[in-house]
Structure 1
């Protein structure tokens, strides 16, 4: 994969394949971006530098040489960490689902659907634990 194809891959991943959106983010004309993504087109240091500034999670070595992965491993690992943390937090309170109010269940479902943290307070947890113990769980 040449540098033009790697830039095209960035357009696909970061802008949903929309070259006009990519051009806007880089403050380039769509015509200039079309030249950057055209196979065999010349790519200088300035557009490479600009791409790396605007899309800070792009691995520079991948963009320039094609080594490694497009997105820096540290960024991916950070996302995985937060995802796993949210899943663990959700699973910790899963046992209390039968004891949640309708509104709490709705918030839990929304958090689960969006892979975001479900925020609850100590008072809620205490109520769930009490209800759970009363019902033999």
Structure 2
């Protein structure tokens, strides 16, 4: 079971034991004991399976099957895609964010969590984006009208 725990640590935190211990609310010393085989009872198994529902309990306990549950993998993929879509939806507002808001966005991207912005902030950004789009559309329409007028002239102006 110790080798399977090591595989889970590698999967979840890239092998960083302290980060894994923090994820589960354990001390690094407690994790080190588990990795040595000391006190590997039911409680740490339950903690791991509750915190990481994508881990196949049969694999973890018995070494049979694959480490990750297929159904849970699909859930994780859906969750990841949803998170990515949320970030992409916010990405268009970056030009309107202040330094603190950009920092929040950057931290959310780095940590894999959802950035937190107030509804008023989102509404403000939508308004700014809408203003910019209207301004660009007006400039484009004016340029198109000018181009059309030039093209309709019999003799080009010199």
TM range (shorter): 0.5 to 0.7
Question: Following TM superposition, where does structure 1 have runs of at least 4 consecutive aligned residues deviating by more than 4 angstroms?
Answer: 15-20
TM-score for both structures, normalised by structure 2: 0.54
Higher Rg of the two aligned structures: 2
Structure with greater contact order relative to length (CA < 8 Å, sep ≥ 6): 1
Q: Which residue of 2 aligns with 1:23?
A: 33
RMSD: 3.4
Question: Please, which of 110, 114, 118 is the counterpart of residue 113 of structure 1?
Answer: 110
Q: Which residue of 1 aligns with 2:9?
A: 14
**Is residue 133 of structure 1 aligned with residue 130 of structure 2?**
yes
Q: Distance in 1 between matches of 2:103 and 2:43?
A: 43
Q: How does 1:17-96 map to 2 (within 5 A)?
A: 21-24=31-34, 30=36, 33=37, 52-56=45-49, 57=53, 58-62=55-59, 63-64=61-62, 66-67=64-65, 69-96=66-93
Q: Distance in 1 between matches of 2:91 and 2:43?
A: 45
Provide the aligned length of Structure 1 versus Structure 2. Answer: 113
Structure 1 pair 19–74 and aligned structure 2 pair: CA distance change class (3 A): farther
Contiguous gaps of at least 5 residues in structure 2: 18-27, 137-158
Q: Distance in 1 between matches of 2:57 and 2:31?
A: 21
In structure 1, the residue corresponding to 2:106 is in which secondary structure? helix
Contiguous gaps of at least 5 residues in structure 1: 1-5, 37-46
Structure 1 pair 65–8 and aligned structure 2 pair: CA distance change class (3 A): closer
Structure 1 pair 120–60 and aligned structure 2 pair: CA distance change class (3 A): closer
